[in-house]
């Protein structure tokens, strides 16, 4: 499948959002929302299973991939949701399906709560309703690792929480590839001397700092659109009992635990992920 050329949308505050559109021009829209510290490449394995049936929008949030990383503090989850809404409005999308992983699921919940009825539905993976105390401690540790040891140390701290045991044992070589995504291939950014490298480091820190106080529990009941919540049985970062709190706050939501999967279902088993999305969309339409 030919990778489309990058395209951009400029926001009023000067941030340039990177996005790509591919797939069936007459199919329903699917909008993919990346996990924390990731970029659009995380969907590479899923896209071949979707593009025949859907028109797929992937995009990089502030501080991710090709999207600019503005200086000036944290990037709150609500800010990412506002950016996403501006992108959807700018492109003229109506009633898309949302597909999120982890922080992308948090951004999706923000969108669903702020704009009830604006979406066809959502399939969200690794989706907690808040950043609890333990998760906050982990993220603060990741920030400290980035500051002290750069992306290599940070990645080593994050990696054990990202994937399930089977995936790590069978495909441990993917760790190097994902390190390249997270570090931008720039190695140690602590002593970076140019603006692009400094922005990459600041963007990573701003992404993490922006989630620390996030809590949507008091707005979950605003969500009205069809919703499927998935969680890997081996997910150490957002385990099933924490994701279940989201489902309990949204009475119509469906909740499923996926055997043999850790935190990153779309990466660990992209074919199964795409098939589950297609089945959910067909059943909800």
Full-model pTM: 0.92
Helix (H, G, I), strand (E, B) or coil at 7: strand
CB 31 within 8 A of CB 92: no
Lowest mean pLDDT among 40-49, 144-153, 239-248: 144-153
pLDDT for position 3: 61
What span, in angstroms and rounded, lies between the C-alpha atoms of 285 and 277? 12
| Per-residue exposure over 181-190, b if at least 16 CB sit within 10 Å of its own CB, e if not | bbbbeeeebe
Domain boundaries, the chain: 7-284
What span, in angstroms and rounded, lies between the C-alpha atoms of 19 and 6? 6
Q: What are phi and psi of 23, to 5 degrees?
A: 110, -160
Site of tokens 């069936």: 24
What span, in angstroms and rounded, lies between the C-alpha atoms of 208 and 224? 29
Give the tens place of pLDDT for each residue, 141-198: 999 999 998 888 888 898 889 888 888 888 777 777 766 655 554 444 444 456 777 7
Q: Which CATH number fits domain 7-284: 3.20.10.10, 3.30.365.10, 3.40.50.1820, 1.10.340.70?
A: 3.40.50.1820
pLDDT for position 153: 87
């Amino acid at each position: 499948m030919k990778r489309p050329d990058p395209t951009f949308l400029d926001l009023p505050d000067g941030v340039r959002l990177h996005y790509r559109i591919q797939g069936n021009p007459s199919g329903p829209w699917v909008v993919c929302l990346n996990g924390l510290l990731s970029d659009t490449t995380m969907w590479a394995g899923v896209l071949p299973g979707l593009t025949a049936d859907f028109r797929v929008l992937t995009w990089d949030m502030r501080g991710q991939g090709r999207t600019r990383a503005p200086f000036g503090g944290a990037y709150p989850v609500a800010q990412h949701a506002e950016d996403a809404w501006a992108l959807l409005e700018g492109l003229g999308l109506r009633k898309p399906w949302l597909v999120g992983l982890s922080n992308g699921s948090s951004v999706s919940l923000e969108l669903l709560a702020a704009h009830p009825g604006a979406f066809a539905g959502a399939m969200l993976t690794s989706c907690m309703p808040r950043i609890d105390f333990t998760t906050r401690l982990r993220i603060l540790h990741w920030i400290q690792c980035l500051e002290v040891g750069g992306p290599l140390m940070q990645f080593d701290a994050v990696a054990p929480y990202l994937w399930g045991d089977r995936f790590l044992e069978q495909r441990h070589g993917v760790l190097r590839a994902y390190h390249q995504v997270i570090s931008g291939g720039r190695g140690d950014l602590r002593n970076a001397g140019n603006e692009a490298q400094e922005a990459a480091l600041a963007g990573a820190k701003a992404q993490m700092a922006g989630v620390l106080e996030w809590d949507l529990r008091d707005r979950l009941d605003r969500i009205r659109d069809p919703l499927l919540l998935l969680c890997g049985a081996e997910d150490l970062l957002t385990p099933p009992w924490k994701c279940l709190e989201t489902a309990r706050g949204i009475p119509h939501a469906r909740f499923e635990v996926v055997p043999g999967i850790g935190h990153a279902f779309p990466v660990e088993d992209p074919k199964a992920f795409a098939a589950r999305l297609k089945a959910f969309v067909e059943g909800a339409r």
